[in-house]
Amino acid sequence: MLYLRIPPEANVILKVPFSCTVIALAALLATSCAWSQANPPEPMHHHHGPMPTPANLQILPKDTTPEQLMTVMHQFEGELGVHCSFCHEADPQTHHMDFASDAKPEKTTARIMMQMTASLNAKYLSQLPDHGTTEKVTCGTCHRGQSMPAVYTPAPEEHEHPPMPAGK
C-alpha cells in the first residue's frame, strides 16, 4: 500500500494500492510525453518583416548583406550551441535584440576569435602542402557545439614504447 496525504493541511490519508499508483504514474508520463511532442516549443529568435541593414560590422565586410550576416550568425549558433542573446544585448525599452550594441564582452570575444580563425586559415593552413584538401578552421573546430571549448585530455597510451638504444 502507498499512503498519500492530500492536501497536507487537510490531514487526510488515502490508501492506494501500489499497482494503481504505478499505472497512474505511467499514464501521466505517457500523456506528458505525447503533449510535449504534439506541442514543441516555439523556435527562438524568429525575425518578422524585412531584415535591417547590418550595423557596427567591425570584422565582417561592411557590404555584408542581411542574408549573409544571418548565415554567419546561424553558423555561430550551431558551432557554439548558443543563441543570439549569448553575444547580443536586449534593448531595455523594446526588449528586442540590439544587434549593433557592444555591451556584452562575449561579442568582443567573438570578434577576436573570428580574427584568430581567419589568421589560422590564411597564414598557417595555406602553408601546408595539402592545403587544397585541408578543411578550414571554424569556431566548431574547437567548440564542437559548446560555448566554452572542452579541454582535451588524451587517453593514456596502451602500448609499450620501444626500449631506448644503449648509450643514449
Handedness of CA 84, 72, 46, 49 (dihedral sign): positive
Digit-coded pLDDT (tens) for 54-63: 999 999 999 9
Give the predicted TM-score (pTM) of the model.
Answer: 0.63
The amino acid at residue 103 is: A
Instruction: Specify the pLDDT at position 143.
Output: 96
Which of 18-22, 32-36, 74-78 has the highest average model confidence (pLDDT)? 74-78
Give the side-chain half-sphere CA count within 13 A for 89.
12
- For residue 168 the three cell numbers come to 643514449
Quick check: 40 pLDDT over 70?
Answer: no
Quick check: 35 pLDDT over 50?
Answer: no
Digit-coded pLDDT (tens) for 106-150: 999 999 999 999 999 999 888 888 766 668 899 999 999 999 999
CA 53/CA 66 separation, integer angstroms: 6
The amino acid at residue 127 is: Q
Digit-coded pLDDT (tens) for 72-106: 999 999 999 999 999 999 999 999 999 999 999 99
Spell out the residues 6+ positions from residue 153 whose beta carbon is closer than 8 angstroms to its own: none
CA 142/CA 127 separation, integer angstroms: 21
Alpha carbon of 123 to those of 76, 77, 119, 126: distances in Å?
22, 26, 5, 6
Per the model's pLDDT, the better-predicted residue between 155 and 11 turns out to be 155
**Do 56 and 111 form a contact (C-beta atoms < 8 A)?**
no
Query: CA-based diameter of the chain, in Å?
Result: 87
Range with lowest mean pLDDT among 17-21, 38-42, 79-83, 98-102: 38-42
Instruction: Specify the pLDDT at position 7.
Output: 52
